[in-house]
Amino acid sequence: MGKLTRAQFISLRAEAKALRERQGMQILVCAGTGCVASGSMKVYDYLKTAIEAKGLKVSVELKDEAGKKGLHLKKSGCHGFCEIGPLVAIEPAGILYTHVKVEDCDEIIEKSILSNEVIDRLLYEGKREYMHRDDIPFYKGQHRMVMKDSGRSDAEDIYEYLALGGYAAFEKALFEMEPAAICKEIVDSGLRGRGGGGFPAGRKWESVRRNVSDVKYVVCNGDEGDPGAFMDQGVMEGNPHSIIEGMLIAGIATGASEGYIYVRAEYPLAVKRLKIAMAKAEELGLLGDDIMGSGFSFHLHINRGAGAFVCGEGSALTASIEGKRGMPRVKPPRTVDQGLWAKPTVLNNVETFANVPNIIMNGAAWYRSVGTENSPGTKTFALTGNVVNTGLVEVPMGTTLRKIIFDIGGGIKDGKKFKSVQIGGPSGGCLTEEHLDVPLDFDSLKKLGAIIGSGGLVVMDEDTCMVEVARFFMAFTQNESCGKCVPCREGTKRMLEILERIVKNEGTEEDLYLLEELASTITETALCGLGQSACKPVVSTLKYFRNEYLAHVRDKHCPHCNGRKKKVIIDQTLCRGCGKCKATCPMEAISGDKRSPHFIDNEKCITCGACWGSCPFGAINAIEEG
């Protein structure tokens, strides 16, 4: 298809919407990484072959049917509830089947597709009351804005995105709004960066807009290196066009004509989906030169990161794109003044850009109607650890930990007591039972010495040794330190050595004061935000669980770990070979082929906990040796 005019684009979007509304039955097979690792693509292939064998026409793209009713088989984005996959949704009936295997496909075809019957045993917990997705407690407590269409549409079909209103916000920004008005809308919305810092996105955009430069850039941070975090992965795999549209709008607003999406190489499916989305957008003329005859041009590129945690920091990320070693630099100058190739640059993360089309289309007031006054909108969290329901959870800013962990997450596994939750990844802090009713927003958590970060939530039960938690997060941070500044390079190493002594019951009370002094020094003097927040797990556990440190240094006995070395194992019966643990391991201690059980080399393993925080299937555990 050649370059579209605005009128042709409006017509195409209307046609796509009409086609979707006239669709007959839709069978959506979850094609997110978790479900793919569980065998969802085998389910997809079998359904397609078996349906066609019965002489029925099955379409795999929206435009195939040209208005005729029929069966539509789609690869949807991530539903978020990874542990009950593979998932198959039947629309418009709204039925969601869980743990679907190839052996279930014939029954699904005969009963649900041909006879409109419900198969109770494939419903969540086998209960008819959970027949529809939004009736399941995990989904019922959520408010989906960024992920509202993920799981409900084909992640690889641009016409599906258009049918759901996709690129309408871009068209509005392109033809009906001035750059200053776009920036003002983002400022007024109160959108804050979802990558960790919570900096107002509109202020970044306005700064870049005001900067005079022959070249400007828009950069999307999809590196997501926190152990157990996969929020951005879910958006990139499930709704890649929302990110592209957000970046296009940022380009109009700031005068940038080129963009980069920086994705960690361990996300091959996300890279694939983004490339497909970019190619189809270019094919329709939504990317490239003189888009829709407007005079606005925008070219987009993908860069794959090599797995360095520090490249989640803005200046290190831009250095990596430039082909340099990913290391942060002294600021100022800020990225908005001298970012990529020393040019003014808008740098936001995946979730931030995915929010933009909704804001432009519905207005700042609409966005502010959700969340809190100073933290509007929603936030997606990756809920993992000792909780019944793990997965991606999108809730309004200001939602409490109690609601997320106990209402949506189903509470603590095996009926045990809640002890703590690590929020914000290795750069975050540990919160306790007394914080369960504190609203989760940027400002409230800052007062507690914690941060939302990118959105990782690792839940811990009563049997967890919090000193060991602090040790393995420090091990991860120390290993990932880029080494550029002395406070982070040497300070975290000394802190780790002290923590290792304490865990072995060889520490002293003086070590606790030394940990606090080191933490204070590193926080005040480290070069970048990652180094400045590296000590939060130690500081927060010293504050809220000092008695456990004292048990190690005074009593020389911890009721939770007894100072014995822990060995990490992968349960071969539960491992689906998704590769998430392998991707997050800082020591390259995990091996295994894709879709086959993985193994841990305990000679290399430092028991940092990155792997068991990232496993969506609960296959990884730490056991005590001896």
Peptide bond before residue 537 is cis, with ω within 30 degrees of 0 = no
Q: Give the mean model confidence (pLDDT) for residues 526-551.
A: 92
pLDDT at 563: 44
Separation in Å, CA 458 to CA 142, 313, 367, 466, 618: 18, 22, 28, 12, 13
pLDDT at 568: 83
Model confidence at 197, in pLDDT bands (50, 70, 90)?
confident
Q: Give the mean model confidence (pLDDT) for residues 93-99.
A: 95
User: By mean pLDDT, which of 102-106, 256-260, 389-393 is the weakest?
Assistant: 389-393
pLDDT at 425: 78
| 70 pLDDT higher than 80 | no
Give residue-wise pLDDT tens across range 503-532: 989 999 999 999 999 999 999 999 988 889
Sequential DSSP letters for 409-458: S-SBGGGPPEEEEEESGGGSEEEEGGGTTSB-SHHHHHHTT---TT-EEE
Q: What's the half-sphere exposure (Cβ side, CA atoms, 13 Å) at 472? A: 25
pLDDT at 282: 96
Between these two residues, 588 and 40, which has the higher pLDDT value? 40
Model confidence at 111, in pLDDT bands (50, 70, 90)?
very high
CB-based burial label for 32 (10 Å; 0-12, 13-18, 19+)? buried
Helix (H) or strand (E) holding 539: helix 536-544
pLDDT at 602: 81
Model confidence at 565, in pLDDT bands (50, 70, 90)?
low
Across all residues in the chain, what is the average pLDDT? 90
pLDDT at 606: 65
Q: Domains of the chain, with CATH numbers?
A: 23-140 (3.40.30.10), 166-368 (3.40.50.11540), 378-461 (3.10.20.600), 466-555 (1.20.1440.230), 566-624 (3.30.70.20)
Asked whether the beta carbons of 317 and 347 are under 8 A apart, the reply is yes
Place of tokens 């100022």: 332
Separation in Å, CA 85 to CA 39, 80, 100, 325: 9, 10, 7, 39
pLDDT at 193: 92
Residues 6+ apart with CB under 8 A from 114: none
Place of tokens 């095996």: 414
Between these two residues, 556 and 250, which has the higher pLDDT value? 250
CA 601 to mean position of chain CA atoms: 28
Asked whether the beta carbons of 143 and 396 are under 8 A apart, the reply is yes
Q: How many residues are present in the chain? A: 626
| 67 pLDDT higher than 50 | no
Asked whether the beta carbons of 473 and 441 are under 8 A apart, the reply is no
Sequential DSSP letters for 323-343: TS------SSSPTTTS-GGGS
The 8-class DSSP code of residue 381 comes to E
Cα–Cα nearest to 344, from 197, 219, 179, 201? 219
pLDDT at 151: 87
| 255 pLDDT higher than 60 | yes
Q: Give the mean model confidence (pLDDT) for residues 291-309.
A: 92
